[in-house]
Amino acid sequence: MIPFKELAQTYGTPLYVYDFDAMRAQFESLKEAFRGRKSILAYAVKANSNLSVVKHFASLGSGADCVSIGEVRRALMAGVPKYRVIFSGVGKRDDEIREAIESDILYINLESEAELERVEMIAQELNTKARISIRVNPNIDPKTHPYISTGLHDNKFGVEITAAKRMYIRAKNSPYLDSVGIHFHIGSQLTELEPIYEAAVIVADLLRSLSAINIELKFFDIGGGLGVRYKEETTIEPYAYAQAVLAALKGIDVTVICEPGRFLTANAGYFLTKVLYEKQNGQKRFVVVDGAMNDLIRPSLYNAYHRIESLGNEGEASAVDVVGPVCESGDFLAKNYPLPPLEHNDLLVVHSAGAYGFGMGSNYNTRGRSAEVALENGVHRLIRRRESFDDLIALEREYL
């Protein structure tokens, strides 16, 4: 049992709480599924980039999947070994590419032919060889929310098979590029295995045809995307996932890299918010809380469902919109959600908030971002202090 009330009292609200033991259990279940195979779990830092969270996964042997040089720095700072750090993303600045090459990370994932040229040019300037991988867009419908679907030609991510092949041949002929991997990621919050298997088969076939022309790659990166249960979704079992990928590879000798984010952190995280007041507009019931879309934007942005638990209040539940103080009608944590009558200072726990929660937060309406707390072996500790007004104006005040 997590002592939510004690945590809210100690650290104040709104507050993010992460159960590090639950994160470890998720990590280990996935690692176990790939046991006996060469594999790297590269935690997708974007899901929850708190340094202590990244350090926690690093201590379990995790690598890191990063999408900006800032994330690469976080991963290295948190103790992820450089040989397990990957740098992906559809648009990388020259300075980011340069720093990634100089940091000697495992590889840079390329997402276009133009990017290959930039990386080659920068590696030449540095008089070195850049290790690269290419993100293939297998044109598979992952059957998830369109905002987080990434493996269709309509999406901006990756390159077509034919372009990927051209790029590998070009890289082979370049003294500044060293192709070590191949990558795909078809989307996030995936709840069906079939599209992942189909994508893996397509990319494994490309691997075979590259091998036939003497281009041998070491890493087969299957991206992230494993879905979790927010409400009643059926999810993919880690073992079935691993077996499907290995079946697609049918004996090809590669190290499998997997980039889970949500799977490792979502259900280990809670967002605590306090009731400010109830109000009624005509027939419509609202409860106004101290947390808002700037803290947790998933409901507003994707219409995402997060279970909300009311602590301590019994009473008969009726439908209510749980809304924050931000000046937008889109500022809600839930709509028509059944909750009992609530009073000032009652505590609500928003579940499954450990992935894409704090990290997608903002300072909109000059609201400081929440504190973050870790809970491990029954002990809690602060891992990010609450932002103060001074923090919010720190980069502006000197220009006044």
Residues that bind ligand LLP (CB under 6 A): 44, 47, 65, 88, 148, 185, 188-189, 223-226, 259-263, 298, 302, 355-356
Beta bridge partners of 375: 19, 380
**Tokens found for residue 162:** 């034919």
Least distance between ligand LLP and beta carbon 212 (Å): 27
Q: Beta strand 371-376 with 379-384: parallel, antiparallel or unpaired?
A: antiparallel
**Tokens found for residue 59:** 């201590």
Task: Pick the closer one to ligand LLP by CB: 14 or 223.
Answer: 223
**Planar angle of CA 61, 134, 190, nearest 5 degrees:** 65
Query: Which of the following is catalytic: 327, 379, 395, 400?
Result: 327
Instruction: Select from 64, 66, 59 the least CA-distant residue to 42.
Output: 64
Exposure string for 41-76, b = 16+ CB within 10 A, e = fewer:
bbbbbbbbbbebbbbbbbeeebbbbbbbbebbebbb
Least distance between ligand LLP and beta carbon 191 (Å): 11
Omega within 30 of 0 (cis) for the link into 14: yes
Least distance between ligand LLP and beta carbon 181 (Å): 13
Least distance between ligand LLP and beta carbon 184 (Å): 9
Exposed, middle or buried: residue 345 (CB in 10 Å: 0-12, 13-18, 19+)?
exposed
Helix intervals (H) in the chain: 4-11, 20-33, 51-59, 69-77, 94-102, 113-125, 161-172, 193-212, 238-249, 262-265, 298-302, 389-393
Least distance between ligand LLP and beta carbon 242 (Å): 15
Least distance between ligand LLP and beta carbon 44 (Å): 3
Rounded distance, CA 307 to CA 238, Å?
Answer: 24
| Main-chain dihedrals φ then ψ at residue 275, nearest 5 degrees | -75, 130
Task: Pick the closer one to ligand LLP by CB: 225 or 238.
Answer: 225
Rounded distance, CA 221 to CA 274, Å?
Answer: 42
Rounded distance, CA 323 to CA 327, Å?
Answer: 10
Task: Pick the closer one to ligand LLP by CB: 256 or 342.
Answer: 256
Task: Pick the closer one to ligand LLP by CB: 286 or 302.
Answer: 302
Task: Pick the closer one to ligand LLP by CB: 310 or 370.
Answer: 370
- Residue 327 annotated as catalytic: yes
Exposure string for 215-254, b = 16+ CB within 10 A, e = fewer:
bebbbbbbbbbbbbebeeeebbebeebbebbbebbeeeeb
Give the number of other CB atoms < 10 A from CB of residue 25.
Answer: 12
Least distance between ligand LLP and beta carbon 214 (Å): 28
Give the number of other CB atoms < 10 A from CB of residue 121.
Answer: 13
Give the number of other CB atoms < 10 A from CB of residue 107.
Answer: 25
Task: Pick the closer one to ligand LLP by CB: 262 or 380.
Answer: 262
Task: Pick the closer one to ligand LLP by CB: 11 or 20.
Answer: 20
Task: Pick the closer one to ligand LLP by CB: 14 or 357.
Answer: 357
Least distance between ligand LLP and beta carbon 276 (Å): 26
**Residue numbers annotated as active site:** 327
